[in-house]
Each structure stands twice: as structure tokens, then as C-alpha cells.
Amino acid sequence: MITLLPGIVARRVPTERLTANVLEVDGRTGTPVLFVHGNVSSSLFWQRTMLDLPEGYRPLAVDLRGFGDTDPLPVDATRGLRDHAEDVVALVRALDLGSPHLVGWSMGGGVVLRILRADPTAVRTATLVNPVSPYGFGGTRGVDGEPLGPAGLGAGGGAANPDFVRLLAAGDRSDDSPLSPRQVLLSYYVKPPLRPADLEVLVESMLSTRTGEDHYPGDLVAARDWPGVAAGGRGVLNSMAPNHFRIDDLHTISPKPPICWIRGADDQIVSDASVFDLAFLGSVGALPDWPGAGTHPPQPMVAQTRAVLERYARAGGTFDEVVFPDTGHSPHLERPAEFVAALREILAKG
């Protein structure tokens, strides 16, 4: 199947860490804008956005390790997305991009946060699109990200739905199951009943995800306390567990590049009521024996992100929050013209 849209070209770029697959707009020069995809996807999700950026910008999109056509090196989850972040930085150096604008969606937002925290001089502006919370995905409560228990309780590889993982690993392209990649995309990546442009390409992108303990979802660790799982040390979901990934001190960096936080108001994935958060599923009766909101409330993912960004602003940084109504997890797919307009505003600040 042809997955590249007209005007988009791909190449594999050797770096000091791995060989990364990169998409570009053919012949485009200008200020680099580097797009970082989310979990169970690839650079292919950014093609329309790349083509819609005006002249004067050089759009690039990278496949993270274990996705698309980048080398499928294992993910050390204990480094909390540092494997992915350092791969992106190595690509920036290999291509001599200087300090590009960074745009990260979902897990890619966490990768951008990790790069920003490590070296703010490497980032011209940061755009976070429905990003994973700075306190990770799952296993925390309250706006300050208090852990539900020790060692990433309630988060990590064991939080993935095994039927979805099975169908993903099998390369299922059907709509036979509500847990097929196609149906998960149509139910959760975008707000129904939208059918995004290039749907078949997006499904192929999801199916490029490497599965297993070193990739998606990662290894599973049993826990005695509810919900019975905790974060392991390998793979993608574990790398976003709160005991491995936590960026609550973003306000301490200097300099402080401009940040834009773009999100869909009806996101079901990164939400204060995420259907992928085991504590939320317990609260609505989808998982048995929920201990209750006193100890295991749903993770307030949006509120946590806002709290971290507000501290950043009080310490001298700036951030804009752009909320698209009637929009799910993928504003760049659901509202492409408005998304590019918002993106152009933040790019102009750098």
C-alpha cells in the first residue's frame, strides 16, 4: 500500500544512536518544525499538517524507535521516555537543524517535554497536542501527581487491553471487533462519527507499531494491591508510568521557550476521565473491586498539565491553551485548518 501523500518524501537518517525514518515536504526549506507522533502511530499521522504549513517553514516528522521505519531498538522504560527524547535530539544533530520548533502529540508531547526539560536551548518553541500528563499515564491522583501506590501501581504495560494488543500484533485491518486498531482509531483517536482523511494510511501507521515486552505495551508486573498491575522496566507504556516519567519542575528551566498546549475538549484518552485509566474504569464499574475515590480516583490528566504549565508561567515562561470544542484526541486530524492556524501563531513567537 502507498502510504506517502503526494509531496511527502521519506528517508532513513543514520544518527549516533540509531537510524531514524524521517518524512519531509519535498524541496521545502526554512525554519525547521519537527513533529513527534504519539503511541501506536507513526510519522504518517502528520502528513496533512506538514503539507499545510506555509512556505518559510521546513516540516519534518520522525518515527520514534519501535514505530514506522525507524530501527526497532528496545525501550528502557526506567529512563522515562529518555530513549525516545535522546533519539530525537540525535536526529536534530545529524540533520543540523539547530534549535527547531517541536510539536508533540500524546506520547510525543511527553517526548517534547523531556527534551525541553533536559535542554531548553535546543527548543525554539514547544507545541503539546493532547500530551501525556507531566506525571505520566495512570497511577496518580490529584493535581500534584501523588502516586496511588509504590512502583507505578495501576500503570504500565499491564494496563493495556490484551485483545487490542493481540489484534495489533496480528496486523488486523478489519472493523470486526471494537478493539481492532481501526475501530480504536475511529472510537478514541478521533471523536465519532468522524472518519478522518487518509484512514487506510492511518491504520497502516498504527500497524507499524512493534509489539512485545521491549516495545508496546511492555512487560507486565503483577501487584498485590488493586488493580493488580504495576509498571515494569521495559517497553513503551512502562516508560510513561509515573515512577519512571515525571516532569513537575519544568518551571526551573532557563531559558523558557514559548509553549502552546492544544487539546480537544472531548478527548477520551488524555482526560480527567480517561477510558484508558484503570482508576476511571474502576469508578464506572468496568473493573471490579474498585477501592473508591478516596484512594483511587481517576487521574486528573488535564488538570495536572495545567498546574505544571501555570507554574511555568508564574516563573516567567509563557503558555497558551487552545481548546477545540467537539474534538477528540487528534485535533490535527479532526480540525486541520484550525490546528494549522493555532500552530502558526506559536511558531511566530519563536
In angstroms, the first-to-last Cα distance of the chain is: 38
Whose grid coordinates read 519563536?
Answer: 350
Own/partner pairs, 115-123, CB within 8 angstroms, 24+ separation: 115/85, 115/88, 115/89, 116/250, 116/253, 116/257, 117/247, 117/249, 117/250, 117/253, 118/82, 118/85, 118/89, 119/89, 120/253, 120/254, 120/255, 120/256, 120/257, 121/255, 122/89, 122/92, 123/99, 123/257
Average pLDDT rounded to a whole number, residues 187-195:
98
Tell me the pLDDT of the chain averaged across its residues.
97
Is the predicted pLDDT of residue 2 greater than 90, yes or no? no
Which residues partner with 281 through β-bridges?
none
User: Which residue in 61, 85, 339 sits closest to 205, CA to CA?
Assistant: 61
How do the domains of the chain map onto residue ranges?
A: 8-149+246-348
Could you give the percent of the chain with pLDDT greater than 90?
A: 99
Whose grid coordinates read 528517508?
Answer: 11
pTM above 0.85, yes or no: yes
User: Which residue in 36, 251, 226, 272 sits closest to 133, CA to CA?
Assistant: 272
- 229 by DSSP, 3-state: which? strand
Task: State the DSSP code for 9.
Answer: E
Average pLDDT rounded to a whole number, residues 28-37:
98
**CA 44 to CA 46: how far, in whole Å?**
5
Average pLDDT rounded to a whole number, residues 306-314:
98
Q: 151 falls in which pLDDT band (50, 70, 90)?
A: confident
pLDDT tens per residue across span 35-71:
999 999 999 999 999 999 999 999 999 999 999 999 9
| CATH of 8-149+246-348 among 3.40.50.1820, 3.30.470.20, 3.50.50.60, 3.40.640.10 | 3.40.50.1820
Average pLDDT rounded to a whole number, residues 82-103:
98
Whose grid coordinates read 507499531?
Answer: 209
Q: 150 falls in which pLDDT band (50, 70, 90)?
A: confident
In terms of Cβ atoms closer than 10 Å to its own Cβ (0-12, 13-18, 19+), residue 248 is middle
pLDDT tens per residue across span 243-286:
999 999 999 999 999 999 999 999 999 999 999 999 999 999 99
Amino acid of residue 237: L
**CA 23 to CA 9: how far, in whole Å?**
6
Q: 141 falls in which pLDDT band (50, 70, 90)?
A: very high
Which cell is 315 given? 516563573
Is the predicted pLDDT of residue 1 greater than 90, yes or no? no
Task: State the DSSP code for 290.
Answer: -
β strands within the chain, DSSP E? 8-14, 19-25, 30-36, 56-62, 101-105, 126-129, 140-141, 146-147, 211-212, 216-217, 220-222, 229-231, 259-264, 319-324
Residues ≥6 apart with Cβ < 8 Å to 268: 188, 274, 275, 276, 328, 329
Whose grid coordinates read 484526541?
Answer: 329
In terms of Cβ atoms closer than 10 Å to its own Cβ (0-12, 13-18, 19+), residue 228 is middle
Whose grid coordinates read 492556524?
Answer: 341
